[in-house]
Amino acid sequence: MGPPIELRDRNGDAKAASSSQSQVHDEQGLGRVGKKQILKRRFGFLSILGFSCTVLASWEGILSTFTVPFEDGGPAGTVYSFLIVWLGTFSTFLTLSELVSMAPTSGGQYHWVSMMSPRWCQKYLSFLTGWLIVIGWLGAFASTCYLSASQILGLVVLNHSSYTPEPWQTMLLFWAIVAFAVFVNVITSTLLPKFEGLVLILHVFGFFGIIIPLVYLGDHNPASEVFGQFTNDGGFQTQGLAFMVGMIGNMFAFTGVDAAVHMSEEIYDAERVVPQSILTSVLINGALGFGMILSTLFTMTDSTAALASPTGYPYMQIFCSATKSLGGCTVMSAIVPILVTATAVGSLASSSRMAWSFARDRGLPGWQILSRVNAQAVPQWSILVVTTAAVLLALIILGSAAVLNDVVSLCVSALYSSYLISAFLLMWQRLTGGIREPSDAPTDTVVNTAGAPLAWGPFRMRGILGVLVNGFTIAYLVVGVFFSFWPDEMNPTASTMNWAVVGTVGTSLISTVYYVIWARKEYTGPVVEINRD
């Protein structure tokens, strides 16, 4: 009996030593960009992969925003725009993976902008980028809660055709989903990695739980219709213009991969694991999303009935037509809001970490309070602020018939703008030779923060490949930002107008005024908490 006990002890000592070494390595890596380890590292590769996949939630997002690309593109436009967005998203996150590998902090884009910008505009560009991320993630969290709430009510309508949902009922469900997200993030915060791992399993099995009965039981459209039929229900001057406007719906389905970036300070070996997780999640979700698009389009034999579904979501009608069973349709449809609710949990986690990080660097009013964490190293004050903002936003967005399209566009325009600024500056630094090799940067000096030298991280695309990927990313993001401000039909009314430009440009103007009046005296970019000479 003696030797086995000794063997277990040695294994336990080795495991503890390995964990200790990993912790020291992560703290040293964070210290190199001038930050102290405040949050606790709880995520490994699989748990953060689950986090990335469930926040991205592409196949769920495709079903939720199906009408956007379908009405301004038709079946063929939906398919081809998805492929373009998938490629553009992968290129974008190849670019951002280089950056997070250089500086794996919760601040993400605004930290990268600060470290790469010319000195004369470094503070302002970083400050503006930080506010764009804050408003973008707030929009992502609010839109996720709204989608889940409205889909739950859609299930009620599906089973009780005489029922008409009231706006206040949607609002109360919205608040309930927010409360659930807060519960998981605050009360059971130490279990968040396990929760995300469980949701990853549901994410994959839920996909097959829908697609198998859908394809097997449903009637099928001819391939020529799916791949060759374009529509322009928005009345735009050309089919190409309608295609570009409709592409925003697919962009929303891929918005949020940078969620893992804002969790970087809670991930083991973040400079390597974060790039691996976000790129893997784009590949996995892209494949699942494309499979769901094809399955839905091939079994959507009556598009008029689907688009006119009283539930507000065509996929519910498509499921019912395929299965010819109300019970089966309800079970399949219920999978989507369940997973969208789980997405809200990750969205709150990421948006609160972003707000906490920006407050830590004195970019938000009340930063002294918002930068605090509790005994479990959870930024509870930032969670409270994001939650309060979402609850109040529910009062506004429920009054607009075009709320879904507006919030979708706001997420795309704000977050894509932050990606665009980061990608452009990386391209500039790459072409001018402003980033040194890792071997040329001493390990005992601060790098990759404002005023410090720049050095590549472990993940990097070398030579012409890096230039081409960065260039394609910039082109894709410019198109995405531009069309995110367009309404989904010509000659829009006040209720069908795309008001995302108000949210994005308004945030930019307000943050600029706030910067000129107060923040320029307080905000200097990411605060260097550790000095290494």
Residue 441 φ/ψ, nearest 5 degrees: -105, 115
pLDDT digits (tens, 9 = 90+) for 160-178: 988 988 888 989 999 999 9
Length of the chain: 533
**What DSSP state is assigned to residue 184?**
I
Confidence check: pLDDT of 12 > 50: no
Q: What is the pLDDT of residue 461?
A: 94
Q: Partners of 454 in the beta sheet?
A: 435
Q: What is the pLDDT of residue 348?
A: 95
pLDDT digits (tens, 9 = 90+) for 105-160: 999 999 999 999 999 899 999 999 999 999 999 988 988 998 999 999 999 999 99
Q: What is the pLDDT of residue 141?
A: 92
Residue 34, C-beta contacts closer than 8 angstroms, at least 6 positions apart:
446, 449, 452, 526, 527, 528, 529, 530, 531
**What DSSP state is assigned to residue 38?**
-
Of 203 and 28, the one with more pLDDT:
203
Let me know: does 504 contact 410? Beta carbons within 8 Å: yes
Q: Which two tokens stand for residue 494?
A: 């006040």
Cα gap 56→144, rounded to integer Å: 11
Q: What is the pLDDT of residue 408?
A: 62
Q: Which two tokens stand for residue 104?
A: 């794996």
Q: What is the pLDDT of residue 375?
A: 87
Within its chain, how far is the Cα of 30 from the centroid? 23
Q: Please report, as a single letter, which amino acid is at residue 357.
A: S
Residue 435, C-beta contacts closer than 8 angstroms, at least 6 positions apart:
102, 429, 454, 455, 456
Q: Which residues of 254-282 are buried (b: 16+ CB within 10 A; e: fewer)?
A: bbbbbbbbbbbbbbbbbbbbbbbbbbebb
Q: What is the pLDDT of residue 107?
A: 93
Share of the chain above pLDDT 70, in %: 91
Q: What is the CA radius of gyration of the chain?
A: 23
Q: What is the pLDDT of residue 498?
A: 76
Confidence check: pLDDT of 454 > 80: yes
Cα gap 265→42, rounded to integer Å: 9
Give the DSSP H/E element, type plus range, for residue 436. strand 435-436
Residue 466, C-beta contacts closer than 8 angstroms, at least 6 positions apart:
98, 430, 460
Q: Which two tokens stand for residue 404?
A: 């879904």
Cα gap 174→167, rounded to integer Å: 10
Cα gap 104→30, rounded to integer Å: 7
Stretch 53-72: mean pLDDT: 89
Confidence check: pLDDT of 8 > 80: no
Q: What angle do CA 143, 276, 69 make, to 5 degrees?
A: 35
Confidence check: pLDDT of 346 > 90: yes
Within its chain, how far is the Cα of 441 from the centroid? 32
Q: What angle do CA 377, 382, 388 make, to 5 degrees?
A: 140
Confidence check: pLDDT of 13 > 50: no
Q: What is the pLDDT of residue 139?
A: 86
Cα gap 419→416, rounded to integer Å: 5
Q: Partners of 436 in the beta sheet?
A: 455
Q: Please report, as a single letter, which amino acid is at residue 94.
A: L
Confidence check: pLDDT of 5 > 50: no
Let me know: does 254 contact 419? Beta carbons within 8 Å: no
- Pairing mode, if any, of strands 454-455 and 435-436? parallel
Stretch among 305-319, 374-388, 477-491 having the lowest mean pLDDT: 477-491
Residue 40, C-beta contacts closer than 8 angstroms, at least 6 positions apart:
266, 376, 377
Question: pLDDT-based confidence at 29, cuts 50/70/90?
Answer: confident
Of 370 and 401, the one with more pLDDT:
370
Provide the 3-class DSSP secondary structure of residue 455: strand
Concatenating the DSSP letter of every residue in 237-275 gives SSHHHHHHHHHHHHHHHTTTGGGTGGGGGGBTTHHHHHH
Cα gap 491→416, rounded to integer Å: 26
Question: pLDDT-based confidence at 332, cuts 50/70/90?
Answer: very high
Provide the 3-class DSSP secondary structure of residue 445: coil
pLDDT digits (tens, 9 = 90+) for 389-403: 999 888 876 776 556
Confidence check: pLDDT of 405 > 90: no
Q: Find tokens 């930050």 and name the residue.
A: 35
Provide the 3-class DSSP secondary structure of residue 91: helix
Q: What is the pLDDT of residue 256?
A: 80
Domain extents in the chain = 42-521
Q: What is the pLDDT of residue 2?
A: 42
Confidence check: pLDDT of 251 > 60: yes
CA quadruple 101, 107, 113, 118: dihedral positive or negative? negative
User: For helices 500-514 and 403-431, what crossing angle results, to 10°?
Assistant: 50
Q: What is the pLDDT of residue 443?
A: 65
Q: What is the largest CA-CA distance in the chain?
A: 83
Pick the CATH number of 42-521 from 3.40.50.970, 3.30.565.10, 2.10.109.10, 1.20.1740.10: 1.20.1740.10
Q: What is the pLDDT of residue 11?
A: 45
Question: pLDDT-based confidence at 48, cuts 50/70/90?
Answer: very high
Cα gap 135→403, rounded to integer Å: 16
Q: Which two tokens stand for residue 348?
A: 């709150």
Confidence check: pLDDT of 6 > 60: no
Q: What is the pLDDT of residue 395?
A: 83
Residue 251 vs residues 65, 236, 259, 483, 518: alpha-carbon distances, Å: 10, 20, 15, 11, 35
